[in-house]
Structure 1
Amino acid sequence: MAPIKGINKLPASIKVEQAAELFMKMATVSSAISRLDEKFRHSVVKSDLINTLALKESVQSTRIEGTQVTFTDMVNEAHKSEQKQEHIEVLNYRRALYLGQERINNGYPITTRLILELHHVLMDGARGANTNRGEFRKIPNWIGPTGRLEDAVYVPIDASEIESYLMNWETYLNKHPYGEKMDISHLSDDTVYILDENIHPLLKVAILHAQFESIHPFLDGNGRLGRILIALYMMQSEQLSSPIFFVSEELEKQRAKYYHLLNETRGKNPKWYNWLNFFLDASQRMAEKLNVLLDQAEQIARTGLAKCDGHSERLVYLMTFRYPNITAVQAAEHANIAASTARRTLNALSEKELVFKDQTQRRNVEYFNYDVLGLFDK
């Protein structure tokens, strides 16, 4: 069967009756995300938990691309001087996410320039790093089960069209600087509902993600970067105050369906409804899961803090939500306390069974918060 070739520019459209169904579902998802953000704003572990949430997301997103690394692997290998290539890819994902968060917090919108900057970080020392790191592809590529064109299921736009399509994508994301409406001449049917640049951010981010994957601007790293952009856009659109809405875990569970429905949004007659419905369902499951996780983390933290004596113990204990595998050197550096104080504090927390000390180590002893790890290693 011949592969699908190219994509239409944005905006997209669906049938009117489909729009009504999506809007009802979207209201439920949006409510769950609002509850999550409200909880997070008032949580005692909010800033510390972001790091661990981001690590989990980084693992799940790279697993979609076929890596076998797990969250437990990353925690256990956290203090190794040399990292495996798969671990580097996970850590790069988190670095790129943090960079994007910093840019958004400083008032910079998501733009082509930021995308190139994030890709440069994402591909640092990773597979494919020598293939146009931080640069758009200059040659054709295709998506399929093998490396052969004859087995391709989708052939993206030509490299010469990337700039034009990304300009359209960026305008859809940020709207026209002078308020001009986007061109909809490619949407000729009067019976459709136009998903224009003013639609709700949840539908918009789903469309932006699919379109970015379809433009496929890089030779490698498109999927991972596209999923980073989901979290960043949810911040930019003020749906969330922090990058805590990660859907890669749910997408990874249904990887085949994820790729299949993305492919349906391509070609001259794209089918957007199935993809949008799938994305909202995945978002709903993830929002509910994150709400439960945050409630559990909050309960663990408050119970643990009640057992802590003094400021240092409380400070270092909360730090284990950020670094559930921590050393005295790491605690001293991040808490700005003496290494001896950090070691003494961690030992005190170990005696209270709030963390567990690796008794087999003589140097660079690692302390594990298994209560936190239990929340994520599922």
Structure 2
Amino acid sequence: MAKPKVERAPTFELGSMDFPQIQKYLPLYDLTDSQGRYLHWNQLKWRVPRDEAQNIWFAIKFQRFMQLKEIDLKDEQGESFSYCTPNSIEARLHQVIKTAGGTVGIVAGAAASMQIQAKFLVSSLIMEEAISSAQLEGAATTREVAKKMLEEERPPVNEDERMILNNFFLLKKAEKSCKESLTVDLILEFHRIATLGTTENNVVPGQFRDADDIYVEDGNGGIAHQPPKYHLIPERLQMLCDFANNDHSGVNGRDFIAPVVKAIILHFMLGFEHPFRDGNGRTARALFYWFMLKNEYDLFKYISISKLLKDSPKEYGLAYLYTETDQNDLTYFIDFQLDIIIKAFDELKKYLEEKTDEFYQVVAMLEKSKFSPLLNFVQKDVIKKANKSPGRYFSVKEIASDYGIADNSARTYLNKLAEYKLLLPTKDGRTTLYIAPSDLLQRLV
């Protein structure tokens, strides 16, 4: 992914500061501007008098420096990464933690009905994230085709579909392994799953790059980011694993890093290290999900950050570059990612509300029907879909995948609907398919 070009910020060094020059600006400028924005030099210099810009910048940097918190990670030159949490970030961090600690039903505002749908939502929304993550990396397959492939469990027919299927398995792996400690081998396994069967940039699944010819473009043909040397990758990723596994709970005198912030840092650092020829972004996002689930923020199973990153590629690139061009200040990336997470929760809330409304519409429609007491949630939800799309085909594998149930259960539910003549069974070779009739509403009476 190309990143836009960014001018490196003037370097702040406490020992060489001319305090009389910046003193008058200290009461006027804070870590953020009046709107709570954590501005980079590239953003600030156009908003202040040009001849005073650098002194104003140093006044802001001084106040940021007083709150910066170093972490146990360094760049190739030995300079530490750090971050701070101004009021605007603290507020959003509180909002994310409060929401992420809830349940699907609470977010939807309809606890009872949405808890019933939880298994279905996990499967459905993991599909959405898998598709969006692949599209963010350039996959051109449409959402409709991709989702049908995942639902029907058919083999991918091209590399774009393979990337989406890999992402689906990758997110499942992140969930399955969330109780494990992070190891270099687990990162390699994430990458192997993400890139299996793909050829972009001559990637070798589950293997580090073996040259320094990989870099990130700035959008103008230049180099925005040159990752650390390839021979340092095993050592540097071991340090990343140590950081992930270290106790940052703040208990018994330990350092405290909020789990959400730590997950965002892991996301950034995997992208910064760029240890693979391709698939770094997909692996980084899986690492983010892995750490959030490890810390029991289970609501992250239901959100898609890649969909929103795909819609904001420039801002995503800038968040990396602002950190890299301002003395490894991770606050820019944390700030951006918190916004993305909050937007993802907002989209989840909207999605859940729509699903709840649709479900109650079906319930209302079925209340007067003789079939109402005979149908379970899955069957009612299938009827909802059938009513919206006359002529649609349903398969056992699709229903099993969508609702997280066994094939035998899915087959039983569909056969009952066929027995009630609410779906029409047909054969495609040896496979039974179930068609939504055009007169479904009349059949329900």
Query: Which residue of structure 1 lines up, in the alignment, with residue 41 of structure 2?
Result: none
Q: 1:51 to 1:338 in 2, by over 3 A?
A: closer
Judge which range, 40-49 or 288-297, deviates more: 40-49
**Does residue 237 of structure 2 align to residue 166 of structure 1?**
yes
Judge which range, 258-267 or 343-352, deviates more: 343-352
Query: Which residue of structure 1 lines up, in the alignment, with residue 66 of structure 2?
Result: none
Cα displacement (A) at 1:255: 0.6
Give the unaligned 5+ runs of structure 2. 9-74, 386-391, 437-445
Query: Which residue of structure 1 lines up, in the alignment, with residue 172 of structure 2?
Result: 98
Judge which range, 295-304 or 25-34, deviates more: 295-304
Query: Which residue of structure 2 lines up, in the alignment, with residue 245 of structure 1?
Result: 303
The answer to whether the Cα contact below 8 Å between 1:67 and 1:86 also exists between their aligned partners in 2 is yes
Judge which range, 226-235 or 337-346, deviates more: 337-346
Query: Which residue of structure 2 lines up, in the alignment, with residue 142 of structure 1?
Result: 215
The answer to whether the Cα contact below 8 Å between 1:144 and 1:153 also exists between their aligned partners in 2 is yes
Q: Larger Rg: 1 or 2?
A: 2
Q: Deviations over 1:202-228 (max 9, x none)?
A: 222221111110011111100011111
Q: 1:336 to 1:132 in 2, by over 3 A?
A: closer
The answer to whether the Cα contact below 8 Å between 1:10 and 1:172 also exists between their aligned partners in 2 is no
* Cα distance in 2 for residues equivalent to 1:8 and 1:122: 30
The CA RMSD measured in Å over matched residues stands at 4.0
Query: Which residue of structure 2 lines up, in the alignment, with residue 73 of structure 1?
Result: 145
Query: Which residue of structure 1 lines up, in the alignment, with residue 68 of structure 2?
Result: none
* Cα distance in 2 for residues equivalent to 1:119 and 1:368: 39
Query: Which residue of structure 2 lines up, in the alignment, with residue 274 of structure 1?
Result: 332
* Cα distance in 2 for residues equivalent to 1:126 and 1:59: 15
Amino acid aligned to 1:75: K
Q: 1:142 to 1:72 in 2, by over 3 A?
A: same
Give the unaligned 5+ runs of structure 1. 182-195, 370-378
Find the residue that maps to 1:100 and give its secondary structure.
helix
For 1:1-378, list aligned pairs within 5 A. 12-14=81-83, 18-37=85-104, 39=106, 43-78=115-150, 79=152, 80-104=154-178, 107-128=179-200, 131-140=203-212, 141-144=214-217, 151-175=222-246, 198-240=256-298, 243-266=301-324, 269-301=327-359, 304=362, 307=366, 314-316=377-379, 326-328=394-396, 331=399, 335-337=406-408, 341=412, 343-347=414-418, 351=422, 364=431
The answer to whether the Cα contact below 8 Å between 1:89 and 1:122 also exists between their aligned partners in 2 is yes
Q: 1:130 to 1:270 in 2, by over 3 A?
A: closer
Judge which range, 45-54 or 18-27, deviates more: 18-27
* Cα distance in 1 for residues equivalent to 2:394 and 2:78: 48
* Cα distance in 1 for residues equivalent to 2:325 and 2:260: 23
Higher relative contact order (CA 8 A, sep 6+): 1
Amino acid aligned to 1:170: C
Query: Which residue of structure 2 lines up, in the alignment, with residue 373 of structure 1?
Result: none
Judge which range, 313-322 or 239-248, deviates more: 313-322
The answer to whether the Cα contact below 8 Å between 1:331 and 1:342 also exists between their aligned partners in 2 is no
The answer to whether the Cα contact below 8 Å between 1:247 and 1:282 also exists between their aligned partners in 2 is yes
Q: 1:256 to 1:309 in 2, by over 3 A?
A: same
Q: 1:315 to 1:273 in 2, by over 3 A?
A: closer
Cα displacement (A) at 1:343: 4.9
Query: Which residue of structure 2 lines up, in the alignment, with residue 191 of structure 1?
Result: none
Amino acid aligned to 1:30: I
Judge which range, 131-140 or 342-351, deviates more: 342-351
Normalised TM-score (structure 1): 0.75
The answer to whether the Cα contact below 8 Å between 2:116 and 2:377 also exists between their aligned partners in 1 is no
Amino acid aligned to 1:175: N
Judge which range, 292-301 or 224-233, deviates more: 292-301
The answer to whether the Cα contact below 8 Å between 2:192 and 2:205 also exists between their aligned partners in 1 is yes
* Cα distance in 2 for residues equivalent to 1:59 and 1:321: 24
Cα displacement (A) at 1:9: 6.9
Find the residue that maps to 2:180 and give its secondary structure.
coil
The answer to whether the Cα contact below 8 Å between 1:332 and 1:339 also exists between their aligned partners in 2 is yes
* Cα distance in 2 for residues equivalent to 1:46 and 1:318: 13
The answer to whether the Cα contact below 8 Å between 2:104 and 2:118 also exists between their aligned partners in 1 is no
Query: Which residue of structure 1 lines up, in the alignment, with residue 44 of structure 2?
Result: none
Q: Deviations over 1:66-98 (max 9, x none)?
A: 222232121344545552211111011010111
Q: Deviations over 1:157-190 (max 9, x none)?
A: 001211222122222222169x999xxxxxxxxx
The answer to whether the Cα contact below 8 Å between 1:36 and 1:290 also exists between their aligned partners in 2 is no
Cα displacement (A) at 1:293: 1.7
Cα displacement (A) at 1:365: 6.4
Judge which range, 250-259 or 290-299, deviates more: 290-299
